[in-house]
Structure 1
């Protein structure tokens, strides 16, 4: 059975390629190799799916699919990772059909959204300036997101490997505890907002709007003209926030794993 795929028109594929490229630079994997046009991304310490996946980047490159998937699987096994493939609109239709017929399953869909920063009504001043204390930002991020503190060294490795300019944003409550975090990476005229999270105890208080406003204002002052985000398709609260800021869907991607 042919898998359904939301595919932009050919005229939109250059945008997809550009957003994929800035996304790779904004969230760099420790190991990146190519098998033809398939990018194989792996990270020994951090379990992020974006850091540990195969990403086909040419719709015409579908030769020797079984052999190449088998070779990729051995690389993932060496890292102690399950083999995951990320299907963007650049993935060959033949490969997507092959995965479906071979029993692979889609297990997550992510929306990539963009906004024109020039059209956004943002405050004249930045309420929260980015911090330069990477260690403190990581501690806040792990606490707000409820993630394992043991991930700190791996997250530090990822953040320190980001080459474009980055803004690390945190909001604290009156007691000094973190309640919201966001990472903004400004790459020439594009800025990506990632890792935006609000503590469960602070939701519904406008903290998401507050920290996103600061990140986007910083990006615009720094020279970005457009912003992009990636958000899981069933995260309705985040989608509502981003749409309020003028973000609209550019494309979707999907994660696949063996059954």
Structure 2
């Protein structure tokens, strides 16, 4: 079965769901750069055609200069669409593969969602960003960049926050609905509130919202080593569509 059309579609909606501030094309290679935010998804080369392997050494050198101008390390994101000749070159030159992510999908049209407390999404970007940074224990200095990314999402999106009366935000996620596809982005639960049902609650709320807006399929991305998240998503019926990996030069930061 040829699954590359699905990969292409999920890659396209993924780009729209987490937009980089600068997107340039070198042939079919998408060069994504974002000066204010260090996310690898926002700062990487993403080749999108297995047959586009001309002058790979020259194109990597050209991309290197662009990454240096943005103060970012050179990173290649390898999906099933990456040219095999490019990946062979990276291995020969001792590039390091340093993270693997699983892209998962789920048919939500007839999914029996858990009976949990529902939450309506907010459209207050500032509130969501503040909550997400607190839940993730992230650097508050990232607020302007994260707000710019979230504000730049073009498809309809729902910003979900669960709060505790005393502790404040305890769980966050972002659901981006792109026609019949709904992307679950950045699902996080505060460390001290994990294993208390908040992940199930907020994921169910986001999927209900997407389904009421006629989404048929949900997708998400999760690090391959995140066993608790993988177990959660399997409980909801998510299954693997494909994987991608990040590569950096041997002397990369």
- TM-score tier (shorter): over 0.9
Map of 1:248 onto structure 2: 239
- Stretches of structure 2 lacking an aligned partner (at least 5 in a row): none
| Distance verdict in 2 for CA 1:234–1:125, change over 3 Å | closer
Deviates more, 1:122-131 or 1:97-106: 122-131
1:55 alignment partner, one of 46, 53, 60: 46
Map of 1:239 onto structure 2: 230
Alpha-carbon shift at residue 230 of structure 1 (Å)? 0.2
Corresponding residue SS for 1:119: coil
1:76 alignment partner, one of 59, 67, 80: 67
1:194 has 2:194 as partner: no
Map of 1:160 onto structure 2: 151
After superposition, where does 1:102-251 map in structure 2 within 5 Å?
A: 102-122=93-113, 127-175=118-166, 177-251=168-242
Alpha-carbon shift at residue 48 of structure 1 (Å)? 0.5
Question: How many angstroms apart in 2 are the aligned matches of 1:22 and 1:111?
Answer: 16
Corresponding residue SS for 1:140: helix
Corresponding residue SS for 2:135: helix
Map of 2:14 onto structure 1: 23
Alpha-carbon shift at residue 120 of structure 1 (Å)? 1.2
CA contact (8 A) 1:126 1:218 kept: no
CA contact (8 A) 2:101 2:245 kept: yes
CA contact (8 A) 1:113 1:247 kept: yes
Alpha-carbon shift at residue 119 of structure 1 (Å)? 2.9
After superposition, where does 1:82-97 map in structure 2 within 5 Å?
A: 82-97=73-88
Alpha-carbon shift at residue 193 of structure 1 (Å)? 0.1
What TM-score comes out, normalization by structure 1 length? 0.95
Residue-pair matches, total: 250
1:38 alignment partner, one of 10, 16, 29: 29
Alpha-carbon shift at residue 124 of structure 1 (Å)? 7.7
Corresponding residue SS for 2:46: strand
Question: How many angstroms apart in 2 are the aligned matches of 1:125 and 1:246?
Answer: 17
Question: How many angstroms apart in 1 are the aligned matches of 2:214 and 2:117?
Answer: 15
CA contact (8 A) 1:30 1:42 kept: yes
Question: How many angstroms apart in 2 are the aligned matches of 1:170 and 1:129?
Answer: 9
CA contact (8 A) 1:145 1:197 kept: yes
Alpha-carbon shift at residue 169 of structure 1 (Å)? 0.2
CA contact (8 A) 1:88 1:254 kept: yes
Question: How many angstroms apart in 2 are the aligned matches of 1:125 and 1:240?
Answer: 18
Q: Show CA shifts across 1:170-215 (max 9, x none).
A: 0011226000000000000000001100000100101000000000
Corresponding residue SS for 2:109: helix
